[in-house]
Structure 1
Amino acid sequence: MAQTPTTFEVDGTAICTKRMNAGMEVQQLADQVGITANYLRKLERGVRTRMRPGHYQALRAALDANDTDLLRTPHSPPERK
């Protein structure tokens, strides 16, 4: 039986794009996911790249996204802004 990963490596640029396309502010999405706006900003900027399963699933649901939309591919380093 496959085990759930302890963290998910996310693509911050994709999160930001999906959030903006959904017309959401950082605070609004952070509240829906159950994380701080500061943490979400760090994810979007690539300062942080990992999320715990519960928060990642909440992010997927809030953005109506799937793993292909939000997870980093192995060959794409996080963008630092």
Structure 2
Amino acid sequence: MSLLITDECINCDVCEPECPNNAIAQGEEIYEIDPNLCTQCVGHYDEPQCQQVCPVDCILIDPAHPETQEELHQKYLVITGKA
């Protein structure tokens, strides 16, 4: 599954530079995660880096975009050009 940022986001700017897939960008009011680019850091790290640095724990699994670990890995391969 991709991740999503809830409205508890305080726009602290720490998550965006941590994303290896450039899936996080400033939205109209809070940061947003592009589900087409989010791999939960599969292929890059053992844990999602944005969740690790978020001071308010507002980055959660997005139930609207279910994906298996294998699907996340395949997305990583496509995004990085290793497919």
More strand as a share of residues? 2
Structure scoring higher RCO (CA < 8 A, sep ≥ 6) equals 1
Query: TM-score category by the smaller chain?
Result: 0.3 to 0.5
Which has the larger helix fraction?
1
Q: TM-score scaled to structure 1, two decimals? A: 0.40
TM-score, normalised to structure 2, is 0.40
